[in-house]
Structure formats: C-alpha cells, structure tokens
Amino acid sequence: MNQQDSYILTASCESRLGTVDAVTGYLYQQQCYVADMQTFDDARAGRFFIRVEFRRPEQGEFDEAAFRDGFASRADKYGMDWELTERSRRPNVVILVSKFDHCLNDLLYRYRTGQLAIEIPAIISNHPDLQRLADWHHIPYYHLPITADTKAQQEAQLWKIVQESNADLVVLARYMQVLSPDLCDKLSGRAINIHHSLLPGFKGAQPYHQAYAKGVKLVGATAHYINNELDEGPIITQGVQAVDHSHYPEELVAKGRDIECVTLARAVQYHIEKRVFMYQGKTVVLGS
C-alpha cells in the first residue's frame, strides 16, 4: 500500500448499532478504499473501538478538510472520539536515556534502516556517556545532569526541549530517573517506558541477580505509558522468555536486555501506527 496515498482513521464510542457502518459507509461514499480494518467491542465496558487504513480516491483531489468536516457530523451522532492521520507522516520522537545503551541502540538502528518511521529531533540524558552515539547519528544530544536539589530545574529544561522539538512521543529507553507527577501529567498518553518484568518481585539494584538466587524460570519486559504510579501505567506490550537453572545472572541480564529492546520497539511501533487506545486505565491494541 502506497503510504503517500493512505490514511489511518481511528475512533471509539459507546457500543451501538451502526458503528461500523458509520465509518465504512462514509468511506464508501467518499470513494475511499478500505485496505485494512480492525475492531473490538468491549462487552463489559460497552465501548467500541475501530481502526481503518484506507486509500484516498484514485480520481480527483482529496480534500482532507472537507473529509474531516463530513465525518465529524456523522461521528457526532455516535459520540465518537476520532482521529485522522496521514499514513506517511513521521512523528517526532524524543528519547530519554541514562547509561544503559541497548534500547537506544536498537531504536536508532530501526530508525536508521526505516523499520521505525519516525524522526528523532533530540536525545536527552542525565549522563554524558552516549554523546558519541548520538553524534554518529547526527542527532542533537542534551546532557542534563540531575540531583535531588536540581530535579525541578532539570525537568523544566527537559520539558522545554520536548516542546521545542514538537515531540509527538517521548520514549524512556532505560532512563533511570523517576519523573515528577507534574511532568507525568504533561506527558500523559505520549510517553512510553520500558522495564524488566521481574517487578514487583525483585526491585532495586541487580534484579536479575536476585532472580537467579530465587531460581527464576521466566524473564521478560513490559512497555507501558507512564503515569504517577511508578511502573504501573497502562501496558502496551510485553515480552517473555523461559529460562532455567543453567542460566547464570549475566545470561539473564543479556536475555532481559534483548527482550527489552524488542518489547520497547514494538510498543513504539504500535503507538505511531495508531493502534493503541487508552480506556479505563488500560489499553486496547488493535492489529498487534
């Protein structure tokens, strides 16, 4: 499918008769070809979700403003929350990182090879260690040291960079700082974090060594939107791998890092492709 000619339409509303037709019927009227569609009806919550990828008409010009106006009147009848996105648009993603470079490296590789259709206008870190990696990719790198006494000022600088970068998404690629409630609120719904899925059983320093001592049989990772509850935001995706007694702590760490990379990249992909809906403190992920 030619992304230059394609759009993504997402919508959610109360479960009612005619919701699918409200979307697909309008697309038919506009002579827009539906190339892909997923829906989900949450019977318990009484909420309907839909994601459609469509091609604009082959004949004539596509007036996006007129399309929006026409669909808005139809969507209003169902109380739909909806969004229209050009498929080829590359969102701006600001990455936060500390010293661990595995997730950053993976995201930069996927960005460089086109696997992730994003722009990265800034990398922000509380350490200088990964400056050369950012320089090699020609991406501005902002070293913002932080202490307990300077946390407010550092976050103000961070927020300024996010705003000036016109960031659509912020990714915490092993950024080892707890964001303040104020910054969490500002980034609500557009900041993704990654952590190992050994939580909450093994907290603090060297969780994989703690897990080894307990004979853990699974290692994994969780990617989620941030909120004011530490590592408990709405989950987007998770990864897991079986291990056994033969895996020493160093091997658990290596496997965990691999899973973190893949899980975080998948979450970013789902977000930028408009597959994630947040509702009642959790997520619906369509076409994952």
**pLDDT tens, residue by residue, 84-96:** 999 999 999 999 9
- pLDDT over 80 (residue 152): yes
Average pLDDT, the chain: 93
Residue 209, pLDDT score: 84
Please give the full DSSP string across 111-122, using - where no structure is assigned: HHTTSS--EEEE
Residue 1, pLDDT score: 53
CB-hemisphere CA count at 13 Å for 212? Answer: 14
Measure the CA–CA gap between 125 and 139, rounded to whole angstroms: 13
Residues recognised as catalytic: 231
Measure the CA–CA gap between 168 and 86, rounded to whole angstroms: 14
Report the amino acid identity of residue 264.
Answer: L
What's the whole-number mean pLDDT along residues 239-257? Answer: 90
Residue bearing tokens 């009806």 = 41
Distances (CA, A) of 246 to 17, 210, 213, 241: 55, 15, 12, 14
pTM (2 d.p.): 0.93
Residue 3, pLDDT score: 64
Measure the CA–CA gap between 201 and 32, rounded to whole angstroms: 50
Measure the CA–CA gap between 175 and 264, rounded to whole angstroms: 13
CB-based contacts of 176-182 (< 8 A; 24+ apart in sequence):
176/98, 176/99, 176/100, 176/126, 177/98, 177/126, 177/146, 178/230, 179/155, 179/226, 180/151, 180/152, 180/155, 181/228, 182/155
- pLDDT over 70 (residue 189): yes
Q: What is the CA radius of gyration of the chain?
A: 21
Residue 216, pLDDT score: 87
**Tens of pLDDT along 12-33?**
999 999 999 999 999 999 999 9
The DSSP call for residue 278 is E
pLDDT category, 10, cuts 50, 70, 90? very high
CB 17 within 8 A of CB 41: no
Q: Is the bond preceding residue 200 a cis peptide, omega within 30 degrees? A: yes
Report the amino acid identity of residue 9.
Answer: L
**Tens of pLDDT along 36-76?**
999 999 999 999 999 999 999 988 788 999 999 999 999 99
Residue 226, pLDDT score: 94
Report the amino acid identity of residue 161.
Answer: I
Domains and CATH numbers, the chain: 3-86 (3.30.70.260), 92-285 (3.40.50.170)
Q: Which residues contact 5 (CB under 8 A, 6 or more apart)?
A: 55, 56
Residue 50, pLDDT score: 98
